[in-house]
Amino acid sequence: MIVKGVMGIDDALLAITHGADGIVVSNHGGRQLGSTFAPLEVLPGIVDAVRGQMEIFIDGGVRRGSDALKAVALGARGVLLGRAPLYGVASRGGAGASEVLALMMDEMLISMRLLGCQGIADVSPAFVEQAKRAV
Ligand X SMILES: Cc1cc2nc3c(=O)[nH]c(=O)nc-3n(C[C@H](O)[C@H](O)[C@H](O)COP(=O)(O)O)c2cc1C
- Active-site positions read 28
- Choose which of 6, 7, 26, 104 interacts with ligand X (CB under 6 A): 26
CB-wise, 80 or 115, nearer to ligand X? 80
Nearer to ligand X, 104 or 117 (CB): 104
The answer to whether 111 and 65 have CB atoms below 8 angstroms apart is yes
Our CB check for ligand X shows the closer of 37 and 115 to be 37
> Could you give the 3-state DSSP secondary structure of residue 82?
coil
Nearest to 62 by CA among 44, 42, 40: 40
Task: Examine residue 29 and tell whether it contacts ligand X (CB under 6 A).
Answer: yes
CB atoms near residue 9 (< 10 Å): 15
Interface segment toward ligand X; rule CB under 6 A; list 9-17, 56-64, 90-98, 125-133: 56-64
Residue 41 interacts with ligand X (CB under 6 A)?
Answer: no
Rounded Cα distance, 99 and 106, in Å:
10
